[in-house]
Copies of this chain bind each other. A is one copy, B any other.
């Protein structure tokens, strides 16, 4: 079967490589059919690349090639990926993607178009890189009511936090190391401010609860305010700070969904996820907690998820997979600060007496070199708004959510 690849960056070139090196395992799954890359779309030149005769700068070469049944979109960004994907779907081709931004922004429209046109739009690689998560979640869904999802969804920030926790690096030092290692972009904003994780939360929430969630509905807080002092306090309570995407069912018509630093206690499966690895925990009413762990990014891991989707399209060429979700609503995602109760970590310039006068029940933490005018503590369960009002007029240095995962 002829296939095409749009975008010859890290993931796209990995897709071509995995297809070429895994003919045998692909044929095992398709019942004998192999995939043959017939076009690679990229505006850049790749002189000397062994696939030179496959390159095109004209999208129409793919759109108009009737033999191409499946296209991998690994371009990233909403434009022109959206336009290209829609045209391919409307011309009866299946599309698979690693482009989380596009799925988070336009997934509903593209899935509906795929349904109308009897083709597939699959996006396993858009969340968790190489970790199979989209299909296992769909599987869990059929005999469970999902109660919540929590994930370490961004390898760059998890690498930075791991270096802070394990090696005592400052945020700035760890970010520099991540950039030197190629884990972080020159402009790291999308990672460290939580925007990348936010897109993945949108996709997981849409799938888990059946209604599209858009990035502007999900509050994203990054890791730039986390200091070694916080890491040290949390460590004294046997916990670690992770950047988590969290989704919780509120009722049949609303969910909470947000990205923020969060404290996970040792013993949780999420606590031992280190470096650039990702993990996604799904809590179902029948199965309990299941957790999926693996490389959240990287050329070949992500490419292997894209190719698995291409194989799935090849197997299901005459039949749609039943993935998808419906229209969302503006008030579908609630303000978690007013609704969700949880414990919080608070660090402030204050004395213990002042804290005990305001809170019924707190657990004080300590760190080496703690100044006498600084306290850190974990509260009992309350909403963030309740917390804020209790802390009124106090010199608060940092607040971090505490998870129940």
Contact = CB atoms under 8 A, between A and B. Distances in A.
A287 B267 contact: no
A181 interface: no
Number of this chain's copies in the complex: 2
Contacts of A294: 287-291
A307 interface: yes
B304 A144 contact: yes
Interface stretch (A22-30, A49-57, A149-157, A379-387): A22-30
Q: Is the interface of A mostly helix, strand, loop or mixed?
A: mixed
B26 A142 contact: yes
A315 B304 contact: no
A27 to B, nearest CB: 10
A189 to B, nearest CB: 27
Interface stretch (A103-111, A130-138, A349-357): A130-138
A308 B144 CA distance: 9
Nearest to A289: B294
Identify the interface centre among A143, A210, A271, A284: most chain B CB within 10 Å of its CB.
Answer: A143
A235 interface: no
Nearest to A134: B139
A141 interface: yes
A143 B305 contact: yes
Given A294-B287, A304-B284, A143 B26 contact: yes
Nearest to A288: B295
Contacts of A143: 18, 22, 25-26, 303-308, 311
A121 B142 CA distance: 18
Contacts of A136: 132, 135-136, 292
A293 interface: yes
A304 B286 CA distance: 6
A292 B292 contact: yes
